[in-house]
Structure formats: C-alpha cells, structure tokens
Amino acid sequence: MQSAPHAPGPLDGVRVLDLSRFIAGPSCAQMLADFGAEVVKVERPDGEDARHHEPYYEGESVYTMLYNRNKFGATLDTRHPDALGILEQLIRWADVVVENYRPGTIEKMGIGYERMTELKPDIILTSISGFGQTGPLSRRALFDAIAQASSGLMDTTGEADGPPTLTGTYIADYVTGYQAALGTFAALMHKERTGEGQRVDVASLDSMFATLGTRLISHLMLGAEMPRNGSRDLLTAPVNVYACADAQMYIQAGTNSLWPKLCHAIGRDELAVDERYRTVPGRMAHVPELEAVVADWARERTAEEISTVLETAGIPFAKVATVPEVAESEQIAARDMVVTSEHPKLGTIRMPGNPIKMEKSPPTVRKAPPTVGEDNEHVYRTILGMDDAELERLRSSGAV
C-alpha cells in the first residue's frame, strides 16, 4: 500500500459523502477513499459517537482512526435549522452517499433516497443497516454482537459443550463494510455504463448469514445441523490446536493427501495404512484418538521444532500468534499491512493497511484520519463556496 499524496486511483474523481459512524459505514467509505475517491465525512460538532470510545492516545480515540483515513472531516449539527440546506448542497456535489442510520431516519431528516434523486438524479446511495431496508425487522437497531447472535454465527462459535460465543473482533461490521464497498463499486460500474444511479442496500444480518457456509447448506440441502466444534475443522481430521512445549500450534492435516504426510512426519507411518483412518469419514469417526496421537507428539517439542518438521513435510500449520506478534511479523511487513501517516496532532501514526493489492492502481494513504472539524474550511469554502460571513454565521449559530 503506497503512501502517495497525489497518486491517482481507480476511483479518482469520484465524490463520496460519508454520513456514517462506528465501523461498517466508515470502513466502506474508507475503502472507497483508499482507491482514490474524494470523501467528505460529516459528523456532529462534538464528533461522532465512536470518538468518545476508548482506547485513547493523547486525547484522541484510536478507534475512529481505524476507519477514517483519506477523508476530509467536516462538522454539522444535522438537527440545526440550517443543516438540511447544507446536506442538500453536499448531496448535489456527491456521486455516492454512504449512510448507516436506522432505516427511516434519513427520510425523517428530509434527505431520503427519493429526495436525493431530485437533487442528483444519478446519485448512488449506499445504505448500511442491521436488518436491511425491507422485512419485518428492518426498523430494529443493531450492533455487531446482535448481528452475530441473530445470524446464527454466535451459535456456531465456541466449544461443543460450551455456550455460544462472540468472535474476538467486530467481524459483522467489517464484513458488512466490505460488502457495502463491493456493492458501491458495482453501482459505480453500472452508472458508468448506463448513467443510472441506484440504492445499494446492505444488511449486517444478510452479510453474516451469507458466511455460514457448510453449516447453512447442510441445513438447506440435508436438513442437518452441525454442532459447535471449537477449534476443530468441521469436515476433516485431525485438525485442531495442539499444545507444544512453549506455545500453541494449529495443525491441519485432515485431507487424504495430508494425513499420510503427517503420519510420516511424526514417525507413525503405520497409521496411514490403518483402514480405520485411511479415509476422511473414517478419521472423522475417530477424532479423539487421532488428536491424542498428534497431541502426544507435539507436547514434547518446541514450536520451532514442530515448524521445521511440518514445513519440510508440506503440512499447513501455524503457531497461534498474539496480536503484537503478528503485527510486528516479517510477513505483515512484506505485505504492507501496517502503514503510516502523519496526523496533525499525534505525528506519525501506524494503521492497518488495505488487504487488496493491485499492480496498476493500488490503494494509497494520502491523508491521516481527520480530527473533529479539521477540514471545515475546505469543505464549506472550497467545495460549497461559502464566504466568510456565511461560514461565521454557521459557526456562531452552532450549525457547524
């Protein structure tokens, strides 16, 4: 991921109005910004809700820095009498509007999709919500954990004899943000071909439901329900986390091609030809005893010793890394997955890079996440053409 102030991207020239907050909407808009779009993020004069969430670094919430780089930050009290007129000007300026209010909210604000198309007939409105713009639950509020619970994801996570468990990150928000960015890219391609805008409707429930994979298709096609299985693989064995002398190792050797390699690597070639274990169904019928064999072998060896053996054998494995370990790893560095930017208040800051790598038009870091209202002058003077008197009036009245 390049740090290039003026490098054009595939979305160079696309204008995005970001009215979203928290994670899913801002991460969608940030993805568009990384690929060159000019994004204006509008938030309350005291900052969006997420700015008041820990952790803080020198008084600034690092939470918001994750999802708002490459954006111009402007403030606006959307309940102020002057707000509607300003929002309408920004909609006329924009090619894309990203919002993640509860369905019905932007209509109450006076800027629903119908009104947007009156202001800008070819506008693309990307609406991100918990349950979508339609359906009996559409008006219900949702956060990431609710999406995990309501989609079935939480019920699939955890040990077989334990309770349903949240994942260790805001997976629903991240996936939904990426789905929304993908939908926006597709809408921009459609607009380029036809001149037509449209509404992109992305729901967290839908996004999580679509990730259920084998568990979902087993129900839909077979009427079967797969139980929670902790760190075991759903379909093959032996695949699990094993304790070694100095760490935890994840070893995946459940396929018919990998099983004989593992048997040879651990000095148990006789197991590879044992009729009980030769096939996937056979191994799945004997999971505990196979895992005990691997566990006994791993227990007496260090992570480095196991890594050498398994890499030589061509068996997929990984030491279970901590966040600091992976963040500072050579592989992450080689993939430009930690990038830097110059923050106006904090100096050089480190952020996660963009996981999409492109040869001809890579994502770039052009601007640090803005402080509250950092770019009001640019947005209100340069983009909307306000003069000194009008901007001062808005400031004095509390509108911005």
Q: Cα-flanking dihedrals φ and ψ of residue 281, to 5°?
A: -60, -35
Tokens for 1, please give them.
């991921």
Q: What string of DSSP letters covers 192-217?
A: HHH----EEEEEHHHHHHTT-HHHHH
- Give burial (CB, 10 Å; 0-12/13-18/19+) of 248: middle
Q: Cα-flanking dihedrals φ and ψ of residue 202, to 5°?
A: -125, 130
- Which residues lie below 8 Å from residue 123, measured CB to CB, with a gap of 6+? 91, 94, 95, 96, 97, 116, 117, 197
Quick check: 296 and 306 in contact, CB under 8 A?
A: no
Whether 95 is catalytic: no
Catalytic residue among 18, 77, 95, 173, which? 173
Alpha-carbon gap, residue 324 to 394, rounded angstroms: 45
Give the type of residue at 142.
L
Alpha-carbon gap, residue 237 to 291, rounded angstroms: 8
**Among 145, 148, 93, CA closest to 123:** 93
Start-to-end CA distance of the chain, whole Å, equals: 34
- Give burial (CB, 10 Å; 0-12/13-18/19+) of 365: buried
Tokens for 100, please give them.
């993640």
Alpha-carbon gap, residue 37 to 15, rounded angstroms: 6
CA distances from 130 to 140, 205, 213, 325 (A): 7, 6, 20, 34
Tokens for 347, please give them.
């100096």
Q: Residues with catalytic annotation?
A: 173
